[in-house]
Chain A
Amino acid sequence: MSTPSTLVQAQQEVVDEFALFSDWQDRYEHLIELGKDLPVIAPEKKTEENIVRGCQSRVWLSAEHKNGLVHFTADSDAMITKGLVALLVRVLNDRRPQEILNTPLTFIDAIGLREHLSPNRSNGLVAMLDQMKRYALAYSSIP
């Protein structure tokens, strides 16, 4: 899949994709499939350092800065969390740090999965998103 040119477009693509599903079961089955398709994170990157701790599920996140773009790899031990991780990685990957920092993320709300980003879920996703932005912020000062 080629990278959509902007983060706004990438989010719209996800929203359009999820608009095809009329009930919760299809939506979650798709999410589970997305999780299964997420490229496997290298075992050496599944370190304590890369772990984003949630109370319920765990997320691993690592980032690289290449040619001015941020590249994320990530994983989770729970499948639904992993599907959401896959979506976040898909829209945010290979973008300039400034774009990641300046574009509001609206697609999760729009596809009806907002509850997974509530602090109550303690699935590590909120912390993961914060961590992604922190990487972007750190890389933004590198020319």
Chain B
Amino acid sequence: MSTTADTVEKKGYDVEEIRAQFPILKELVHGKPLVYFDNAATSQKPRRVIKAESAFYATINANVHRGVHTLSTKATEAQEAARETIRKHINAKHAHEVLFTSGTTASLNLAAFSLGQLLLKPGDEVLISGMEHHANIVPWQLACERHGAKLKVIPVTDSGELALGASDHLIDQLSDRTRILAISHVSNTLGTINPIKELIAEARKRGIITAVDGAQAIAHLNVDVQDLGCDLCAFSGHKAYGPTGTGVLYGREELLERMPPWQGGGEMIDVVTFAKTTYAKLPFKFEAGTPHIAGIIGLGEAFRWMEDYDKAAMAAHEHTLLEHATTELLTIDGLRIIGTAKEKVGVISFVIDGIHHYDLGTLLDQQGIAVRTGHHCTQPLMERFGVSGTTRASFASFNTVEEIDSMLAATKKAAKMLR
């Protein structure tokens, strides 16, 4: 299977062919065609994914790894096939390095809790960046509080890039007490693609464990965990064309073997006595309780769907959308883009002088355009840029240049109404 995968021909990029697969794009909002630009919050789902999830319930619903009956076997096979699909997609060495969770937040909480137990002593440091989502701040803060460690932060430049040190000292904030580097691959608010491969290499040289928040990268970039060299990588299914309530924590086998479990319960045990419990082998040690089986099967289908296309072509399409939106938005009087890094995915955050993001978001919605407004769960970053919130448009493979033109016209109309 894996030997032929590389030779499988990818579909050519035809945005209309892609759009036809997303039933929701035919919906009207306030009587207008939906323009969905909130993909960084959650992406829409192709029909295949919706079908796979409901087909599970209609045909093979049973608990996994439990029964000897046929349905349980089929459900288990389908779930484990999804794990293998994802392993291949992110180029993990082993399928048991792919842990299923409820989403990036759960993945990062697992990582922070378990790594904290394993590694952190009073006076140790955890290094994050100033552009992290709250989900990659608060779990580490909690871990630091539990173990008397300190949270250090890599600052963010005016263009929305990491303020890294001089060339011989890539990260100024690394010290001999740094135990963990937890960093986003792509900023959900700014769209910045961080040079994480270099950061990880620098951290590894010093024996620092690296955890990547890959939530915004997985659907837009080629994520190869072996090439990145990270120890852990967290992402959600629902931002990658998959169902909500699904997520992954990738972990390097040797590290996962050493990490203590996060949640206890069924499925994760080997032998339970009241004196001592021994744990199941990977990945089950970290998958207590009945997983979201239907969702995981849908997630596997979402990755198979992405595999059908050339991810570089998808990324190129999204980059075209980003460039068009950037050029055109800047023609609006008083508009400022927050996040102007050289390397960006299709995420564009902006503010307009004298216009509140709530008002703009409301008036865009009236015109059928779904954008996100507010602080995007990155309050420290909002403070860094001196704004209370932004309006954010985030693109996916199914968006078009025409939709961006609709957003521009709608934004101009809204700005006129609000001034």
Interfacial residues, chain A to chain B (CB-CB below 8 A): 24-25, 28-29, 32, 55-57, 77-81, 116, 122-123
Contacts and interface: CB of A to CB of B under 8 A. Distances in A.
A25 B366 CA distance: 8
Contacts of B5: none
A28 B356 contact: no
12 contacts: A25-B366, A25-B413, A25-B417, A28-B363, A28-B366, A29-B417, A56-B358, A56-B389, A57-B358, A77-B388, A78-B358, A80-B359
A78 B356 contact: yes
Nearest to A55: B374
Contacts of A32: 359, 417-418
Contacts of B363: 28, 80
B362 interface: yes
Nearest to B355: A79
Contacts of A57: 356, 358
B357 interface: yes
A29 B363 CA distance: 10
Nearest to B389: A56
Given A55-B374, A56-B357, A79 B366 contact: no
Interface string B392-419: 0000000000000000000001000110
Contact of A24 (B30, B356, B358, B361): B30
Residues of A contacting B: mostly = helix
Contact of A81 (B358, B373, B374, B375): B358
B53 to A, nearest CB: 24
A77 B356 contact: yes
Nearest to B365: A115
Contacts, number: 41
Contacts of A122: 374
Interface in B194-220: none
B418 A24 contact: no
A79 B352 CA distance: 14
Contacts of B389: 56
Interface in B344-370: 356-359, 361-363, 366
A19 to B, nearest CB: 18
Contacts of B374: 55-56, 122
Interface string B217-244: 0000000000000000000000000000
Contact of B358 (A25, A28, A29, A123): A123
B358 A80 contact: yes
Q: Ordered nearest first, which 10 A-B pairs have the shortest CB separation? A: A78-B356, A78-B358, A57-B358, A56-B358, A24-B366, A80-B359, A56-B374, A79-B359, A78-B359, A80-B362
Given A56-B357, A79-B418, A123-B358, 16 more contacts: A25-B366, A25-B417, A28-B363, A28-B366, A32-B418, A55-B374, A56-B358, A56-B361, A56-B373, A77-B356, A78-B357, A79-B359, A80-B358, A80-B362, A81-B358, A116-B362
Q: Which residue of B30, B362, B363, B366 has the most chain A CB atoms within 10 A of its CB atom? A: B362
Nearest to A116: B362
Contacts of A77: 356, 388
Contacts of A29: 417
Contacts of B356: 57, 77-79
B176 to A, nearest CB: 40
A24 B358 CA distance: 16
Nearest to A29: B417
